[in-house]
Amino acid sequence: MKVQYGDACLSLQQVYEWTGKFMNGISSVTHSPRPGQAHRVVTPEAITALEAIVKENRGITVNEIARNGEYIEK
């Protein structure tokens, strides 16, 4: 397989890992959601709110906006 696919070929260890996953019932190769920071959706309302914040205070930083999330989540 290395001759045919070169560097795109899975290593033997990866083949064993995927085989184990499929044998244990994993049937999807796509990424599954992971725990951690909540998923945020970009909406037209959020964009409009953010634009208003920036127009009001052109000197505001990304960190200030991130720290004060209530600006956007209203």
Answer yes or no: is 46 within a domain. Answer: yes
Neighbours of 61 (CB within 10 A): 9
Print the domain residue range for 15.
Answer: 2-28+39-71
Residue 15 lies in a domain: yes
Report residue 74's pLDDT band, with 50, 70 and 90 as the boundaries. very low
According to the model, what pLDDT value does residue 29 have? 72
Q: Is residue 53 part of a domain?
A: yes
Give the pLDDT of residue 16.
92
Q: What is the pLDDT of residues 16-63, one digit of tens each?
A: 998 998 888 887 777 677 777 666 778 888 889 889 888 999 998 888
The reply to whether 33 falls in a domain is no
Give the long-range contacts of residues 49-53, CB within 8 A, separation 24 or more: 49/74
Total domains in the chain come to 1
Q: Can you say how many angstroms the Cα of residue 62 is from the centroid of all Cα atoms in its chain? A: 19
- pLDDT band at 3; cut points 50, 70, 90: confident
pTM for the whole structure: 0.40
Indicate whether 9 belongs to any domain. yes
**Looking at the domain assignment, is residue 23 inside a domain?**
yes
Please report, as a single letter, which amino acid is at residue 46.
A
